[in-house]
Structure 1
């Protein structure tokens, strides 16, 4: 699949309280093939973020209800989705503060819409689809399950779990978005790659193998949960 097609199929959330800015940004992004969602305040932005799981967020720092910095901080506790700050603040300290709390890039007002689209595409290329963890080491149920994202190791009850590369990628995707229910197709695209030559039911086999390695009771799993009629999600705990 061509890179342009992969990038342009993504969802972008644009958050700004100025309708004219949102309208211009949305128009340019849609002309580039992106699916665009819009929010005019912080509360709506968080609600839409939870519902659509965007691939990138363009976030104005000066919002009427909740500041962009606060929105960025809340999102960073849940996701590594790329965030581009949209700001009228040109002071270096303000920009550095935004980057420190988790933003990936920034663009200052007034801006060129064409340049913004180019920056969006560049940021999506850098972030790719490789799942990035919220923390380097994740622990669940009093260290019953430990996922070490630096060493790419998983331990259960203190013992190393031997996962295949595909099983580890699948687990990493599920853990990255613990509240999201994935379809088989989504898991296949994100964990195995857009060009993976296989059937979506292949995911079921990987899920079965993961459960055998991670769960104490595969008939009543704690971590890899089935959502009937849709797909799978990470249970955590």
Structure 2
């Protein structure tokens, strides 16, 4: 099955060039490359947007298209989401960013995500042109999001299941590193327990068995390499030598 086309990001009457540039960076982070601008307040192109886009994200701005109205900006769009946190008297489906992203991946035609101007967001006339509303579940006492933050959040929901997955950093093992085996971990636990007994750490005596058990469990939970084990032995020898 072919990969679905990424959503188009439409910024309606954006006010600050810096926010447009920051939105471009957020888009490219998650593979969104098509930006459409509706009547940007300070005109276009905007040098402040280019400066904020910083490098590679400039390509999003280079290809950005400008339209006088939202209706014209939605050419070729099959389904559009309006992002807003305010209550509306318009009857429309309301979904979360995750639900919108999932539905967009299953849709064959182009999808657009519409964002309003920084000061007040989308107007009812704008929302009326969308098929559904996207609302982020945030603190009801402070639901306002910066424009670039909103774009980043929607981009993340799209990209997390569309972009190639990479193993988490802690899952990677440096080349040449060998993990400690159970015998080596047992010896490390024995060494620390012996020196802690000498230091009077396991006190009071009636709690000593539980404390030893917890310490042993601590060592077994750690994904230690042989080099790690040698370092921990060395630290203990140096501390107790004095």
Q: State the TM-score, normalizing by the size of structure 1.
A: 0.30
Larger RCO (CA under 8 A, 6+ residues apart): 2
**Which structure has the greater CA radius of gyration?**
2
Higher strand share: 1
Higher helix share: 2
